[in-house]
Structure 1
Amino acid sequence: MNLPNAVTLFRFILIPVYLTLFFSDIPFKMQWAFGVLLLAGLTDVVDGWLARKNKQVTQLGIMLDPLADKLMMLAVFLSLLVSHRISIFAAIAIFVRDLGMIIASAFFHFQGKLTVPANLMGKLTTVLYYVALSLLMFDHPSAGEFLWGVIIFSFITSLIYLFQFKLINQRSM
């Protein structure tokens, strides 16, 4: 287990920490939960940087990194749905897209197919989701509209990933 993958695994631990804080009765719970979310985002940047800097990019890391991101996002959006900060339709769109990406990535990984590492569009999607989350968590009036824009962008990004996946696996045959 290399350091970048260990940092990625730490992000999995942050998911129940976030949920515990979000649904707690402590003062400033939203700020604490948002802080954990930002920590998860920071560790996402750090693990990628460490992997590239130390030439420790692995297939396991390529698979676990987006899985950690997606599971954190799913947990956050589930908490926002339960707390009535997003609609069921937005939640379904997000869950369908992210679960589809998780299932497809795992399926193809275990089939021995090459997976596509995160690209600029994927990273931008993640940043935009973090912006949407901050707007939603702190009740910004335009949060819902911004979220739908990000959802649409995320589906476009998914189509690009599928195209890249097809290309990378056609070349490796």
Structure 2
Amino acid sequence: MNLANRLTILRIFLIPVFMLFLLNKVPYGESIAALIFVVAALTDTLDGYIARKRNQITTLGKFIDPLADKLLVSAALISLVQMGKLSAWVVVIIISREFTISILRAVAASEGVVIAASWWGKAKTITQIVAIIALLINNFPFRYVGIPMDQIMMYAAVIFTIISGFDYLRLNKQMILKE
């Protein structure tokens, strides 16, 4: 198993550790959880860079990398709902988009078509991670029109999530409408 895949597996193993610190009454638990989330999110960038640089892109990596990303973000979002820091509708929109695009990619792959990440998809990922970190650290004293900045960041993540979802569907409508 190569280093990139090991980093991806590490990201998956960090998820329950992240949740343990976040959801239990542990001294500095939320801060530790935020740090674990940041480390896990950084492994996503690092594993892809290593795989491409060393030309070690594997079928296992293609499978577990997006799975690890979705598990990490979903675990964080669901935990934030449980903690009362995030509305469930936000999570439903984000997870629905992830299911939709994952299924679209699976259908495309079955036809021999690879759907690469778009600029909108990358912006979606970045805004989601930044918004989650902001909600985790719960230390944003800044407000805009009376709305806390961490909430504004999450609204931006929802907007990018919706736009990127529609963009993938628009660009790949031939996969959906194919008979």
Do both proteins adopt the same fold according to a TM-score greater than 0.5, normalized to the shorter chain?
yes
Residue in structure 2 matched with residue 149 of structure 1 by the alignment:
156
Question: Does the 8 Å contact 1:62/1:117 carry over to 2?
Answer: no
Distance 1:35 1:126 in 2: 18
Question: Does the 8 Å contact 2:22/2:29 carry over to 1?
Answer: yes
Question: Does the 8 Å contact 2:127/2:157 carry over to 1?
Answer: yes
Q: How does 1:17-96 map to 2 (within 5 A)?
A: 17-96=17-96
Cα offset for 1:108?
A: 4.7
Q: Give CA-to-partner distance per residue, 1:71-123, whole Å, 9 cap, x none.
A: 100000000000110112112112211233334444554x3543324344323
Distance 2:165 2:33 in 1: 27
Question: Does the 8 Å contact 1:114/1:165 carry over to 2?
Answer: no
Residue in structure 1 matched with residue 127 of structure 2 by the alignment:
128
What stretches of structure 1 of length at least 5 have no aligned partner?
A: none
Q: Comparing 136-145 with 45-54, which one deviates more in the overlay?
A: 136-145
Q: Comparing 146-155 with 121-130, which one deviates more in the overlay?
A: 121-130
Q: Give CA-to-partner distance per residue, 1:34-63, whole Å, 9 cap, x none.
A: 111111111111101111101122344233
| Cα 1:106–1:72 shift into 2, 3 Å | farther
Question: Does the 8 Å contact 2:8/2:65 carry over to 1?
Answer: yes
Query: What's the RMSD between the two structures over aligned residues?
Result: 2.3
Cα offset for 1:164?
A: 5.1
Amino acid at match of 2:86: I
Q: Which one has a bigger Cα radius of gyration?
A: 2
Number of paired residues? 167
Distance 1:17 1:86 in 2: 21
SS of the counterpart of 1:34?
helix
> Structure 2 length normalisation: TM-score?
0.80
Residue in structure 1 matched with residue 145 of structure 2 by the alignment:
none
Aligned-pair identity in percent equals: 32
Residue in structure 2 matched with residue 99 of structure 1 by the alignment:
99
Q: Give CA-to-partner distance per residue, 1:122-158, whole Å, 9 cap, x none.
A: 2322221121112212333222232122111112122
| Cα 1:165–1:115 shift into 2, 3 Å | farther
What stretches of structure 2 of length at least 5 have no aligned partner?
A: 141-147
Question: Does the 8 Å contact 2:18/2:36 carry over to 1?
Answer: yes
SS of the counterpart of 1:57?
coil
